[in-house]
Amino acid sequence: MARMTMIEAVRSAMDVAMGRDEDVVVFGEDVGYFGGVFRCTQGLQAKYGKTRCFDTPINESGIVGTAIGMAAYGLKPCVEIQFADYMYPAYDQLTQEAARIRYRSNGDFTCPIVVRMPTGGGIFGGQTHSQSPEALFTHVCGLKVVVPSNPYDAKGLLIAAIEDPDPVMFLEPKRLYNGPFDGHHERPVTPWSKHELSDVPDDYYSIPIGKAEVRRQGSAVTVIAYGTMVHVALAAAEDTGIDAEVIDLRSLLPLDLDAIVKSVSKTGRCVVVHEATLTSGFGGEIAALVQEHCFYHLEAPVMRVAGWDTPYPHAQEWDYFPGPARVGRALTDVMEA
């Protein structure tokens, strides 16, 4: 057991997976010699050789396209897209190829790939280094979508993703790489070492994809979140004193609907939060499911807190980011409704 940051946990997952299975290969832009711009693959090339961890041309459709071919051969590629904002050139390969190869070939060929990508804002990355495109993946039949919120989950879920027989989009909230950011950007950064979920086993373990986790028990309202927003939701509950139950989805697809229904049926109120833009965001899907499955338990309309429907601005980052104040307001509103 060691204290790990999310970067170290992600790296440890790939290290363990590569050590256990020679078919696991890791590649992407700056991923090999240098170890990635966020250093998630540092040391892997030195340890496993440059045919198992290597640099690629700056070509996302090529990274994902070759990964698909390697998976068809029988390898288990775990590739990195340097920022989620750069995945669009690969979107065709992901949506029309990776997602459908099992289906269209009736299992003759499969596509066990993992596509890791740093996601979300909070580092003054502007509109091309801050996006949260998870809903563009959850809308695609055949992909799985995972968003961890802490080092322990990041390692266990990434190992599960690498072992999964189908393509998994693995979105790593980059603002969480070095600490459990709760949206209070004006306060000093808390390191992961002070958080219990940075206690990460050095060895192999995996966490099943599709299971949510309750991060805070509560009775007044259910807050459904994932990634960075889990920590923001916890801060909002703290700041407002509202007894919120905070659910960390961890996996958006498959979705742990049972966990959602169980909690909302108990609290009768629901706020969905995500950093991605509001309109057609994943929060809309959750809100629909909640009203379908919990309508007669609801005491108030389901509310959403999300990024504004604009590109992610640079200078106004903290006015854009749905921080604890905005989530707190929604909690207050839903309690008064």
Which residues make up the interface to other proteins (CB under 8 A)? Answer: 25, 51-52, 56-57, 59, 61-62, 65-70, 72-75, 89, 92-93, 96-97, 101-110, 141-142, 144, 165-166, 210, 253-255, 257
Identify which of residues 8 and 97 has a Cβ nearer to other proteins in the complex. Answer: 97
Closest CA to 116 of 169, 52, 45: 169
Closest CA to 244 of 235, 253, 252: 235
CA distances from 120 to 5, 15, 74, 175, 321 (A): 17, 25, 32, 7, 9
Q: Which of 129, 139, 231, 293 is catalytic?
A: 129
Q: Least distance (Å) from other proteins to the CB of residue 95?
A: 10
Distances (CA, A) of 8 to 107, 133, 192, 226, 250: 35, 24, 11, 20, 19
Q: At a CB cut-off of 8 Å and minimum separation 6, what does 192 contact?
A: 3, 4, 5, 6, 150, 151, 178, 179, 180, 198
| Residue 282 CA, distance from chain mean position | 12
Q: Is the peptide bond before 301 cis (omega within 30 degrees of 0)?
A: no
Q: What residues pair up with 168 in beta bridges, in sequence order?
A: 114, 144
Query: For 132-194, where are the alpha helices, taking DSSP H only?
Result: 134-138, 151-163
CB of 69 to other proteins, least distance (A): 3
Query: In the complex, what is the shortest distance from the CB of residue 306 to other proteins, in angstroms, rounded to a whole number?
Result: 22
Minimum Å distance from CB 228 to other proteins? 25
Please give the single-letter amino acid code of residue 193.
S
129 is catalytic: yes
Least distance from other proteins to the Cβ atom of residue 51, Å: 5
Q: Which is nearer to other proteins, 253 or 331 (CB)?
A: 253
Torsions phi, psi for 167 (to 5 deg)? -70, 135
Q: Measured from the CB atom, is 23 or 243 closer to other proteins?
A: 23
Would you please indicate which residues are annotated as catalytic (active-site) residues? 129
